[in-house]
Amino acid sequence: DAKTTQPTSMDCAEGRAANLPCNHSTISGNEYVYWYRQIHSQGPQYIIHGLKNNETNEMASLIITEDRKSSTLILPHATLRDTAVYYCIVKFNTDKLIFGTGTRLQVFP
């Protein structure tokens, strides 16, 4: 069973920040939050992951609430190429990836 809840779809204007929420209210202390995305007809691509602290890399930022029950993936300046399905996954670092249905992000001009 998926441990996360994500909106089915979201829209974002090109150049604006895309904020993708994820609810994981049953997360346990040592479980990480991972984000992957899947562009149409391609394999999934790792974006970022975190445990407690906020994380940033060249692709995105991950904001985890203090109680760790939810998080937000931020794409600071969305482009048309960011149109994809975004998957939020909660797991121990040794566990396998279990994908839900994700959030379909549509970036429009």
User: In the complex, which residues of this chain contact another protein (CB under 8 A)?
Assistant: 34, 41-46, 49, 87, 93-94, 96-102
> How many beta carbons lie within 10 A of that of residue 11, not counting itself?
11
Compute the least distance from the CB of residue 100 to another protein, in Å. 6
Compute the least distance from the CB of residue 18 to another protein, in Å. 19
Half-sphere exposure of 108 (CA within 13 A, CB side): 4
CA distances from 14 to 53, 83, 89 (A): 28, 10, 26
Q: Which is nearer to another protein, 14 or 100 (CB)?
A: 100
Half-sphere exposure of 73 (CA within 13 A, CB side): 31
Q: Are 47 and 73 in contact, with CB atoms under 8 Å apart?
A: yes
Compute the least distance from the CB of residue 13 to another protein, in Å. 26
Q: Which is nearer to another protein, 50 or 70 (CB)?
A: 50
Q: Which is nearer to another protein, 81 or 109 (CB)?
A: 81
Compute the least distance from the CB of residue 104 to another protein, in Å. 10
**C-alpha span between 41 and 81 (Å, rounded):** 13
Q: Which is nearer to another protein, 14 or 49 (CB)?
A: 49
